[in-house]
Amino acid sequence: MREKVILITGAAGEMGQALVQELSHDGANNRILTLDLNYMPDEFKGMSTHIIGDILDERLFARLVTQYDFDVIFHLAALLSTRAEFSPELAHRVNVDGTLALLKMAAEQSQARGRPVQFIFPSSIAAYGVPDLETKARDLRVREWDWNMPSTMYGCNKLYCEQLGSYFSRHYMQLAVNRPVMIDFRSLRFPGLISAFTLPTGGTTDYGPEMIHAAAKGEPYACFVREDSCLPFMAMPDAVRSLLQLANAPRATLTRDVYNVTSFSITAGEIRERVLAAFPGAEIDYDIDSRRQGIVDSWPAGLNDKAARRDWGWEPVYDIDRAFDEYLIPNIRQRYQN
């Protein structure tokens, strides 16, 4: 008898760690299988069965499906936007081929057991490509179907995989196997995420979290985008809550496969001001990286998340003041004092 589990890929990453923690403490006695190229930090011992492995390793998946029955898959593994611009082919392999391999595995499992497999896929504001700064300043709450013209490899990968997921949930079939495929695909387009406990690697929104963490450590920081650069952001606990809320929403209430979610929009200069107010001695200046600036300029300053609010009651707990004053600043301060 195969063991029923929730599979989380990319579990050692920022969002993975926060999600594992939440799922292992939610009282539901979840059995969690985590997969990542890296080890989970020591404090995660006992929260999941952890496998060190590559989502591109077909033999690994062939072994896992004989042992486990995946009820829900949170597919978080990805190369983020800046990293993907440096290695676009690798990004395509990980972000697209990896997602395809997992969708195929989920499809086979759903056929074998005659029940749906839920597939939760975090997408990103990178799926958008606003044409110029005038449009960005004017169109402050882009809807899911606006400006789907990404200018990065990561954005192209995310946008395509959203569509791949929808395809698998509606049209994919393996003619050789005469049983229906049942994939319940659900995706969220996230803004920049900021965690008090981990730092992202390889993203373009990293200047937000990096600025706060550097100030708390007493290290100087050079922000790589202009002070007027505006993007939507969200505190990590809200991101995890939105993933779980979408996963738990009754299928019948969903009118889309892909939902925008957001919390607050803020410029780099405003983040700097908030950080300086909390850490008056912080040294934060600007050293603009033109490629990363170009990416940020192509992402919207805000998202319209009306559909998520209407369909499954999405509402962030952390607005801008609570995110900084109650979550980020106190936790980050304490982390480095310790």
Site residues (vs ligand AKB, CB under 6 A): 80-81, 124-126, 154, 192, 203-205
| Cβ closest to ligand AKB, residue 81 vs residue 111 | 81
- 227 CB burial (10 A radius; 0-12, 13-18, 19+): middle
| Cβ closest to ligand AKB, residue 50 vs residue 158 | 158
Cα–Cα distance measured from residue 153 to residue 58, given in angstroms and rounded to the nearest whole number: 24
Cα–Cα distance measured from residue 1 to residue 69, given in angstroms and rounded to the nearest whole number: 9
Q: Is the CB of residue 108 less than 8 Å from the CB of residue 176?
A: no
Q: Is the CB of residue 98 less than 8 Å from the CB of residue 90?
A: no
As measured in angstroms, the least distance from the Cβ of 226 to ligand AKB is: 16
| Cβ closest to ligand AKB, residue 107 vs residue 212 | 212
Among candidate residues 181, 183, 174, 164, the one with its CA nearest the CA of residue 112: 181
As measured in angstroms, the least distance from the Cβ of 205 to ligand AKB is: 4
| Cβ closest to ligand AKB, residue 24 vs residue 205 | 205
Cα–Cα distance measured from residue 320 to residue 330, given in angstroms and rounded to the nearest whole number: 14
* 3-class SS of residue 38: coil
As measured in angstroms, the least distance from the Cβ of 64 to ligand AKB is: 27
As measured in angstroms, the least distance from the Cβ of 91 to ligand AKB is: 11
CB-closest chain residue to ligand AKB: 203
Written as one string, the DSSP assignment of 226-248 is -TT-EEEEEEHHHHHHHHHHHHH
| Cβ closest to ligand AKB, residue 116 vs residue 200 | 200
Q: Is the CB of residue 107 less than 8 Å from the CB of residue 165?
A: no
| Cβ closest to ligand AKB, residue 61 vs residue 224 | 224
As measured in angstroms, the least distance from the Cβ of 192 to ligand AKB is: 5
As measured in angstroms, the least distance from the Cβ of 93 to ligand AKB is: 17
Among candidate residues 229, 77, 254, the one with its CA nearest the CA of residue 158: 77
* 3-class SS of residue 23: helix
* 3-class SS of residue 331: helix
* 3-class SS of residue 118: strand
As measured in angstroms, the least distance from the Cβ of 189 to ligand AKB is: 9
Cα–Cα distance measured from residue 116 to residue 133, given in angstroms and rounded to the nearest whole number: 43
| Cβ closest to ligand AKB, residue 24 vs residue 204 | 204
